[in-house]
């Protein structure tokens, strides 16, 4: 299975190609399908990483696991 960073790079290339708008319909569908598979793989890997972070926090004496939040999420969720 490709690494997370490789999946993300490929996803970015697919989006750029689709945004150009000059891709034939059949190729667009193929790219879209590949993009959905990559997106699913990335999401799964992120969920696994989140689970590992929760386990590590729990092992360090926290009463409840705290899910890892990215910088963007942290800034946007607190008002």
- Whole-Å CA distances, 64 to 11, 47, 70: 35, 18, 19
CA-CA distance, 35 to 10, in Å (whole number)? 8
Domain that holds residue 46: 4-77
CA-CA distance, 23 to 15, in Å (whole number)? 11
State the pLDDT at residue 77: 44
State the pLDDT at residue 65: 52
State the pLDDT at residue 13: 95
Residues of the chain with pLDDT under 50: 71-79
Q: State the total domains in the chain.
A: 1
State the pLDDT at residue 79: 38
State the pLDDT at residue 15: 94
State the pLDDT at residue 33: 96
State the pLDDT at residue 64: 56
State the pLDDT at residue 2: 61
């Amino acid at each position: 299975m490709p690494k997370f960073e490789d999946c993300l790079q490929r996803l970015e290339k697919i989006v750029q190609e689709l945004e150009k708008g000059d891709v034939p319909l059949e190729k667009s569908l193929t790219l879209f399908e590949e993009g959905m598979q990559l997106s699913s793989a990335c999401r799964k890997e992120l969920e696994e990483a989140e689970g590992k972070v929760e386990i590590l926090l729990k092992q360090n004496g926290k009463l409840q696991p705290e899910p890892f939040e990215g910088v963007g999420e942290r800034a946007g969720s607190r008002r």
